[in-house]
């Protein structure tokens, strides 16, 4: 019993939850207006796009892949939807186009990784540039500002009578679905297997390519919905929409305890991490910290969270009888850490 | 094969051994020194050594000696302490108590490098070789030969390598990349490296595990040579007949203690087993009461691109069919086709008299085929998963209730196989990585039994398992056959094949060479069928090599296409053709060709391309990126990436500009130094976190991309460096033409030359390649990986910092977003230049050409009036296209090689 409690205490998610609660208390104490209903709703709304991006991204990283083009897919979906709106089509058509674009982008990533066998880091680095570049090619420099009220309302209003913004609803719906899939369904078991040992998964009949391709497509889908949210929230479709969002998305996933070696991580940690980042950005915003400086803070947080998780791993290895994890650069194909720290 | 008596060998004698660059005062071995009892000189000794890991005592009170010109075999079950002894002698572990003596002197070793310096070399199954480097470089890795100038002398290393290769009987061009060699050849390179390092103690850790019978013969001949050279050897292995053939003495370990050390002629194999296990094993192989039923598997005319063809075989229910053959004969390839991993190109597979098409392991599973592959840890288990999760992985779709995975259903599926196998464990939730090898294999067996197979394919099922567990596995397999399973047993362990099989099939060169019934199968018959020749004792090394049959290349065996050309009769035309093929395969040549293919048509269509203004601006922009690309080359070689370079340039450009603007009287060099210093600092931060903090570089540099950009924005606070802030004189210096080329471009060329020379001819530079090609191997030869990674990032930062100064001087305008997004251009230039993002491969020339190519294309697009905002799309596409082309070319050349 004591071992079980100690084990629970030592888990990353528990430590993270404690940090989040500590941060919330400190922010509440030091930042006037932090607990204000309007501020809460606003802060959550600001993170609504990123909250969707992190769901499939976490699953991809567990399978030892990565998608850093998430923000560019979102931007491109938004741009295409904006073009539809500019040309007079309805919001429904625009949303549909955005989703199709997101699916295609995700499928392109998935194709390059699973069929061509290219490393996902390189592919999504390329598509990060390619999709963002297409935003400029399609829209030039001028954003689309003719946005139907239905979308604007979706992006700016709360659920009537509450401080819960409407644009967080997709996340609230999807997050439990993703969590159940990962932790309770055969597909989730297979995802962990692919990340834990890709060869074993293959020889156990797991169709790795199908699952990875599916994850990339789902990532594209989630990002396209994020793009639609962004149109509503900012009341425009701009070629630099969602620019730089991949930093937050990756930070949230790694901070949430998903290992960059693959095969590890839980949705509960990712959700706690999302809350932490929302609170952090909210507090910084209220202290009038500029967007660039906030980016600095998040960058530092990303690096420190990984340093800390490495330290935790070293300590756990020394304390427990757990065997050393097989380092992934013995694999034939380069993985996320194939372009990473040796050892 | 039997060695001479020790006294005879002492007289044979050889020149004294020296040690290169000895840091420690180690006495030299000479002919004259012989032990008091007339036996050979003691080279290394473990004295009452003990080592514990937490609560487990791995070895306790172990003592043995290694003598010059003698082979000591270390035997024992798994967990007996063999690998601990190897690691202690190899310097990787330090003993808790006891002493290590090398040549009579007490030593303390803190690392594998210390062991190397004392003349100890370890050869194991996972060679610390660098696949991207040549044989010659690998042989001299850690102790490279230098020329008069202090730079590395590659020519001399190639020439000297030939001598060492002769001694180990490896007839290959020393310029061949090690990745093109087979495992057995790579082991020979390891031994050659040990010889070049003048090792006096050679530890061979399971060297025969991946070797065929013929290759074992070659190894024995090499060991004899080493005996004559007075090298002392320790041989660790599982196959007793090999051990008794090779070793002079055998030391038996059991449960971490030394049971006995005897001369091999004074002990029988049975006695050795008894001492290892502590009891007599009544029967290693159970009596077979075969109840053979209907045909389960019928294969006719089966062929696959991986190298098997014309396979006809039948397996009945209740039958165990053994499959023997040399490594590379196609046995595993056949198994992989039967399991749907590889596709068949011809022939049919019938299961229960119905033809089936197997497109994936999932198909095979669904039809009742199970395949237990030879790499247990790597291919059969997920170490982080519990026993239960591992055991249910293939059937996890069935282990559900209402669509959710249910533990109760999981247990129902696998508890009976797990119990049948008498697995020793604490609980079903125990992570499988904590079990012993034998117990892990039982989990694998249980996993496959839970799929209710009709046909079970076992590939080396008892490899690396101790004797007691082996017996259990054999018993289980026999029981399974009696229950009606059809079993295909692939094994290189001849007694196992003979003891278990009802019929024995022998494969040679991808085909079935022979079939024997149980009664007529003997070791000689199988061996002669496997090799296609009558067994004979191996002659001198050269003859042994010459008579090696050309084993048909299997999936993993490749011979260098170029190497075949060079090694064969070298007529002048053949040599020229070979040389041309090498040249054509090089990326740099392809880039030059592509450049010419682009430039010539463009100049014909649009003469503005060749105008001096256009060329000047293109070359300036290319140089500004080239500076940073050279730094990125160093980072990527070490298997990392640096996407923060754009932000570093922006930050240093701004600081350079504001220094010049706010302090106009300060000499410009101060501002340049500030820019360089800032860049260096940024690079050091990256390098420290990546190299010492062990965080993946993509994540670190993504973070620092935003951190440095944020710092830049905070410092600049909306201000910008405007035209006129930087004196025109500075800009003029850069654009001043020398020999028709601007100073800026000359600087860029200089950087590439310096980087190129350093990478090719300095030890630091070659170590970058080693770090990226095989980090563990680099560690073993003492390369300070963390420092090299730090250096790479520091250099990248420094060059980016300098580039910032140049950027500000050239453009005259700097704001908080300058050089934003440049990292993509840099990565594109590096990728187009042929640098492998997996590390260990790439050249300065390639990156220079890649940068030029990229900017030529960009210029062409600009001249065609493409909007500059659209360029990021172009870079992204360039990255994807370049990487795809590289991958396709690599795939094609691998296929070409495999056919040879």
Nearest CA to CA, how far is A160 from chain B (Å)?
35
Tens-digit pLDDT profile for residues B107-149: 999 888 888 889 999 887 666 889 889 999 999 987 888 887 8
Is the confidence at residue A326, as pLDDT, over 50? Answer: no
Is the confidence at residue B30, as pLDDT, over 60? Answer: no
Whole-number pLDDT of residue B303: 92
Whole-number pLDDT of residue B556: 31
Mean pLDDT computed over B483-500: 88
Rounded distance between C-alpha atoms, residue A303 and residue B896, angstroms? 44
List of chain A residues whose C-beta atoms are within 8 Å of the C-beta of residue B711: 296
Which position has the higher pLDDT, B128 or A246? A246
Count of Cβ atoms closer than 10 Å to residue B8 Cβ = 10
Mean pLDDT computed over A254-278: 92
Percent residues over pLDDT 90 in chain A: 65
Rounded distance between C-alpha atoms, residue B239 and residue B32, angstroms? 36
Residue B525 main-chain phi, psi, to 5 deg:
-65, -45
User: Is residue B168 less than 8 Å (CB to CB) from chain A?
Assistant: no
Rounded distance between C-alpha atoms, residue B307 and residue A55, angstroms? 44
The shares of helix, strand and coil residues in chain B, as percent rounded to the nearest 5, are 50, 15, 35
Whole-number pLDDT of residue B553: 33
List of chain A residues whose C-beta atoms are within 8 Å of the C-beta of residue B870: 133, 136-137
Percent residues over pLDDT 70 in chain B: 86
Residues 6 or more apart whose CB falls under 8 angstroms from that of B514 comprise B505, B506, B525, B526, B529
Whole-number pLDDT of residue B873: 84
Is the confidence at residue B15, as pLDDT, over 80? Answer: no
Please indicate whether, in this complex, the C-beta atoms of A338 and B639 are within 8 angstroms of each other. Answer: yes
Rounded distance between C-alpha atoms, residue A257 and residue B301, angstroms? 52
In the numeric block, which tokens belong to residue A202?
Answer: 């293959």
- Residue of chain A whose Cα is closest to the Cα of B399: A186
Whole-number pLDDT of residue A343: 31
Whole-number pLDDT of residue B550: 31
Mean pLDDT computed over B98-111: 90
Which of A132, A206, A302 is nearest residue B703 as measured by Cβ atoms?
A302
Is the confidence at residue B544, as pLDDT, over 60? Answer: no
SS3 B47: strand
What secondary structure does DSSP assign to B865-892, as a single string?
T--GGGHHHHHHHHHHHHHHHHHHHHHH
Decide if B662 contacts B651 (C-beta within 8 A). no
List of chain A residues whose C-beta atoms are within 8 Å of the C-beta of residue B377: 326
Is the confidence at residue B23, as pLDDT, over 50? Answer: no
Residue B155 main-chain phi, psi, to 5 deg:
-65, -45
Which of A197, A322, A340 is nearest residue B696 as measured by Cβ atoms?
A340
- Residue of chain A whose Cα is closest to the Cα of B817: A292
Please indicate whether, in this complex, the C-beta atoms of B385 and A134 are within 8 angstroms of each other. Answer: no
Q: How confident is the model at residue B379 (pLDDT cuts 50, 70, 90)?
A: confident
Most confident of B301-305, B549-553, B740-744: B301-305
Count of Cβ atoms closer than 10 Å to residue B61 Cβ = 14
Tens-digit pLDDT profile for residues B634-691: 999 999 999 999 999 999 999 998 888 888 888 888 999 999 999 999 999 999 999 9
What secondary structure does DSSP assign to B357-416, as a single string?
---SHHHHHHTTEEEE-S-IIIII--TTSBHHHHHHGGGTTTSEETTEE-HHHHHHHHHH
Percent residues over pLDDT 90 in chain B: 33
Lowest model confidence (mean pLDDT) among B19-28, B382-391, B511-520: B19-28
Mean pLDDT computed over A187-214: 94
Most confident of A305-319, B40-54, B206-220: B40-54
Please indicate whether, in this complex, the C-beta atoms of B789 and A342 are within 8 angstroms of each other. Answer: yes
Is the confidence at residue B396, as pLDDT, over 50? Answer: yes
Please indicate whether, in this complex, the C-beta atoms of A260 and B696 are within 8 angstroms of each other. Answer: yes
Decide if B760 contacts B653 (C-beta within 8 A). no
Count of Cβ atoms closer than 10 Å to residue B472 Cβ = 17
Q: How confident is the model at residue B565 (pLDDT cuts 50, 70, 90)?
A: very low
Residue B517 main-chain phi, psi, to 5 deg:
-75, 165
Q: What is the dihedral of CA A334, A337, A339, A341, to 10 degrees?
A: -140
Please indicate whether, in this complex, the C-beta atoms of B876 and A326 are within 8 angstroms of each other. Answer: no
What secondary structure does DSSP assign to B342-368, as a single string?
S-EEEEEEEETTEE----SHHHHHHTT
**Residues 773-792 (B) with a CB less than 8 A from some CB of A:** 775-776, 779, 785, 789
Please indicate whether, in this complex, the C-beta atoms of B696 and A337 are within 8 angstroms of each other. Answer: yes
Closest CA to B543 of B96, B208, B169, B829: B169
Nearest CA to CA, how far is A250 from chain B (Å)?
8
In the numeric block, which tokens belong to residue B422?
Answer: 């008498």
Please indicate whether, in this complex, the C-beta atoms of B382 and A339 are within 8 angstroms of each other. Answer: no
3-state secondary structure B285-325: CCCCCCCCCCEEEEEEEEEECCCCCCEEEEEECCCEEEEEE
Whole-number pLDDT of residue B279: 52
Whole-number pLDDT of residue B563: 32
Please indicate whether, in this complex, the C-beta atoms of A117 and B887 are within 8 angstroms of each other. Answer: yes
Whole-number pLDDT of residue B225: 86
Closest CA to B323 of B497, B443, B95: B497
Nearest CA to CA, how far is B376 from chain A (Å)?
9
What is the residue whose two structure tokens read 């006037």? Answer: A32
Q: Which of B835, B876, B887, B890 is the best residue to mutate to test the A interface, defined by the most A CB atoms within 10 Å of its own CB?
A: B876
Please indicate whether, in this complex, the C-beta atoms of B887 and A118 are within 8 angstroms of each other. Answer: yes
Is the confidence at residue B257, as pLDDT, over 80? Answer: yes
Please indicate whether, in this complex, the C-beta atoms of A343 and B785 are within 8 angstroms of each other. Answer: yes
Is the confidence at residue A4, as pLDDT, over 70? Answer: no
Whole-number pLDDT of residue B872: 80
Give the CA distances from residue B457 to residues B379, B448, B612, B714, in Å, rounded to whole numbers and listed in that order.
14, 10, 70, 65
Please indicate whether, in this complex, the C-beta atoms of B867 and A137 are within 8 angstroms of each other. Answer: yes
What is the residue whose two structure tokens read 């300070």? Answer: B784
Whole-number pLDDT of residue B13: 36
Whole-number pLDDT of residue B719: 78
Whole-number pLDDT of residue A1: 61
Q: Which of A116, A192, A203 is the best residue to mutate to test the B interface, defined by the most B CB atoms within 10 Å of its own CB?
A: A203
Lowest model confidence (mean pLDDT) among A244-248, B32-36, B103-107, B117-121: B32-36
List of chain A residues whose C-beta atoms are within 8 Å of the C-beta of residue B884: 112, 116, 118
Which of A66, A184, A206 is nearest residue B405 as measured by Cβ atoms?
A184
- Give me chain B's average pLDDT, please: 81
Whole-number pLDDT of residue A179: 96
Mean pLDDT computed over B363-391: 88
Tens-digit pLDDT profile for residues A271-294: 999 999 999 999 999 999 988 899
What ipTM does this complex have? Answer: 0.85
Whole-number pLDDT of residue B17: 37
Whole-number pLDDT of residue B377: 75
Q: How confident is the model at residue A331 (pLDDT cuts 50, 70, 90)?
A: very low
- Residue of chain B whose Cα is closest to the Cα of A253: B699
Please indicate whether, in this complex, the C-beta atoms of B383 and A197 are within 8 angstroms of each other. Answer: yes
Q: Which of B873, B887, B889, B894 is the best residue to mutate to test the A interface, defined by the most A CB atoms within 10 Å of its own CB?
A: B873
Rounded distance between C-alpha atoms, residue B48 and residue B692, angstroms? 36
Beta strands B320-325 and B503-508 are: parallel
pTM: 0.80
């Amino acid at each position: 019993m004591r071992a079980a409690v100690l084990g629970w205490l030592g888990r990353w998610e528990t430590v993270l939850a404690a940090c989040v609660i500590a941060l919330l208390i400190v922010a509440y104490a030091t930042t006037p207006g932090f607990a204000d209903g309007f501020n809460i709703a606003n802060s959550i709304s600001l993170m609504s796009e990123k909250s969707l991006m992190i769901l499939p991204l976490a699953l991809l990283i567990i399978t030892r892949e990565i998608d850093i083009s998430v923000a560019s897919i979102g931007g491109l979906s938004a741009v295409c939807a904006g073009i539809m709106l500019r040309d007079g089509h309805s919001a429904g058509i625009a949303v549909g186009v955005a989703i199709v674009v997101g699916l295609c982008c995700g499928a392109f990533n998935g194709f390059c990784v699973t069929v061509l066998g290219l490393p996902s880091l390189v592919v999504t680095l390329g598509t990060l540039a390619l999709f963002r570049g297409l935003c400029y090619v399609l829209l030039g420099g001028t954003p689309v500002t003719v946005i139907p009220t239905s979308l604007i309302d979706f992006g700016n209003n709360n659920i009537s009578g509450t401080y819960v913004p409407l644009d967080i609803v997709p996340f609230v719906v999807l997050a439990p679905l993703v969590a159940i899939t990962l932790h309770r369904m055969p597909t989730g078991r297979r995802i962990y297997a692919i990340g834990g040992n890709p060869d074993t998964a293959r020889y156990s009949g797991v169709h790795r390519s199908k699952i990875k391709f599916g994850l990339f497509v789902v990532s594209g889908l989630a990002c396209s919905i994020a793009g639609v949210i962004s149109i509503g929230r900012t009341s425009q479709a701009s070629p630099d929409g969602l620019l730089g969002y991949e930093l937050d998305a990756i930070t949230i996933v790694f901070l949430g305890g998903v290992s960059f070696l693959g095969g590890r991580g839980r949705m509960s940690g990712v959700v706690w991490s999302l809350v932490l980042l929302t609170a952090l950005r909210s507090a910084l915003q209220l202290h009038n910290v500029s967007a660039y400086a906030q980016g600095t803070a998040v960058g530092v947080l990303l690096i420190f969270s990984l340093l800390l998780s490495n330290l935790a791993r070293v300590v756990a290895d020394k304390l427990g009888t757990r065997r050393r994890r097989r380092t992934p650069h013995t694999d034939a194909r380069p993985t996320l850490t194939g372009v990473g720290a040796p050892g | 094969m039997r060695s001479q008596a020790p006294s005879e060998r002492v007289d044979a004698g050889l020149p004294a051994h020296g040690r290169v660059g000895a840091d420690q005062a180690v006495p030299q071995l000479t002919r004259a020194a012989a032990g008091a009892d007339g036996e050979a000189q003691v080279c290394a000794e473990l004295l009452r050594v003990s080592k514990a890991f937490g609560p487990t005592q791995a070895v306790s009170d172990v003592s043995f000696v290694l003598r010059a010109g003698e082979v000591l075999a270390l035997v024992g079950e798994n967990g007996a302490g063999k690998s601990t002894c190897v690691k202690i002698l190899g310097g990787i572990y330090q003993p808790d108590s006891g002493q290590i003596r090398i040549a009579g002197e007490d030593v303390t070793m803190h690392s594998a490098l210390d062991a190397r310096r004392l003349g100890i070399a370890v050869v194991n199954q996972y060679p610390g070789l660098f696949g991207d480097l040549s044989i010659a470089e690998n042989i001299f890795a850690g102790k490279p030969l230098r020329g008069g100038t202090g730079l590395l002398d590659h020519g001399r290393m190639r020439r000297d390598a030939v001598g060492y290769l002769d001694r180990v009987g490896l007839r290959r061009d020393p310029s061949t990349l090690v990745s093109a060699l087979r495992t057995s050849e790579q082991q020979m390179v390891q031994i050659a490296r040990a010889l070049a390092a003048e090792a006096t103690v050679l530890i061979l850790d399971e060297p025969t595990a991946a070797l065929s019978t013929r290759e074992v013969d070659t190894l024995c001949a090499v060991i004899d040579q080493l005996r004559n050279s007075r090298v002392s050897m320790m041989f660790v292995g599982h196959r007793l007949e090999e051990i008794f053939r090779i070793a002079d003495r055998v030391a038996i370990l059991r449960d971490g203690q030394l049971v006995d050390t005897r001369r091999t002629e004074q002990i029988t194999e049975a006695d050795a087993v008894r001492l290892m296990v502590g009891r007599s094993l009544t029967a290693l192989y159970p009596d077979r009461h075969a109840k053979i039923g209907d045909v389960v598997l019928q294969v006719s005319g089966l062929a696959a691109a991986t190298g098997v063809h014309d396979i006809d075989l039948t397996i009945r229910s209740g039958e165990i069919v053994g499959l023997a053959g040399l490594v590379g004969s196609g046995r595993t390839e056949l198994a992989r086709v039967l399991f749907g991993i590889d596709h068949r190109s011809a022939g049919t597979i019938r299961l229960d008299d119905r033809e089936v098409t197997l497109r994936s392991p999932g198909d095979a599973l669904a039809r009742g085929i199970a395949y237990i592959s030879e790499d247990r840890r790597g291919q059969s288990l997920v170490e982080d998963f519990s026993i239960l999760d591992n055991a249910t992985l293939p059937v996890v779709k069935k282990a559900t209730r209402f669509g959710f995975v249910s533990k109760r259903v999981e247990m129902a599926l696998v508890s009976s196989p797990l119990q049948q196998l008498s697995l020793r464990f604490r609980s079903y939730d125990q992570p499988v990585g904590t079990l012993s090898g034998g117990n892990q294999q039982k989990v694998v067996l249980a996993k496959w039994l839970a799929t209710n197979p009709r046909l079970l394919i076992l590939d080396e099922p008892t490899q690396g398992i101790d004797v007691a567990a082996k017996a259990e596995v054999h018993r289980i397999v026999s029981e399974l056959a009696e229950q009606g399973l059809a079993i295909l047993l692939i094994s290189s362990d001849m007694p196992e094949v003979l003891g278990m099989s009802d019929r024995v099939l022998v494969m040679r060169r991808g085909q079935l060479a022979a079939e024997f019934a149980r009664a007529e199968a003997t070791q000689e018959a199988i061996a002669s069928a496997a090799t296609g020749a009558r067994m004979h004792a191996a002659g001198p090394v050269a003859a042994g090599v010459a008579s090696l049959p050309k084993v048909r290349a299997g999936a993993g065996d490749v011979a260098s296409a170029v190497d075949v050309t060079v090694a064969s009769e070298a007529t002048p035309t053949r040599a020229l053709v070979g040389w041309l093929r090498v040249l054509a395969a090089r990326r740099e040549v392809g880039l030059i060709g592509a450049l010419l293919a682009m430039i010539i048509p463009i100049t014909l269509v649009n003469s503005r391309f060749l105008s001096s203004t256009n060329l000047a601006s293109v070359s300036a922009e290319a140089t500004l990126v080239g500076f940073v690309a050279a730094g990125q080359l160093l980072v990527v070689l070490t298997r990392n990436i640096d996407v923060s370079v754009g932000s570093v340039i922006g930050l240093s450009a701004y600081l350079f500009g504001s220094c010049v603007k706010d302090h106009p009287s300060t000499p410009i060099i101060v501002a340049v130094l500030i820019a360089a210093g800032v860049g260096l600092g940024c690079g050091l931060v990256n390098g420290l976190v990546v190299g010492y903090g062990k965080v993946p570089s993509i994540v670190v540099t993504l973070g620092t991309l935003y951190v440095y950009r944020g710092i830049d924005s905070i410092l600049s606070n909306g201000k910008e460096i405007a035209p006129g802030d930087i004196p025109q004189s500075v800009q003029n210096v850069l654009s001043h033409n020398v020999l028709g080329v601007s100073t800026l471009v000359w600087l860029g060329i200089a950087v590439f030359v310096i980087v190129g020379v350093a990478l090719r001819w300095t030890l630091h530079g070659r170590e970058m390649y080693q770090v990226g090609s095989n980090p563990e191997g680099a560690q073993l030869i003492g390369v300070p990986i963390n420092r090299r990674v730090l250096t790479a990032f520091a250099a990248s930062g420094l060059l980016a910092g300098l580039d910032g100064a140049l950027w500000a001087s050239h453009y005259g305008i700097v704001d908080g977003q300058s050089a934003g997004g440049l990292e993509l251009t840099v990565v594109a230039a590096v990728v187009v230049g042929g640098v492998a993002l997996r590390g260990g491969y790439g050249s300065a020339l390639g990156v220079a050409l890649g940068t030029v190519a990229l900017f030529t294309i960009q210029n062409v697009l600009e001249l065609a009036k493409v909007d500059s905002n659209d360029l990021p799309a172009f870079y992204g596409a360039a990255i994807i296209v370049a990487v795809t082309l590289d991958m396709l070319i690599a795939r094609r050349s691998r296929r070409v090689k495999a056919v040879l």
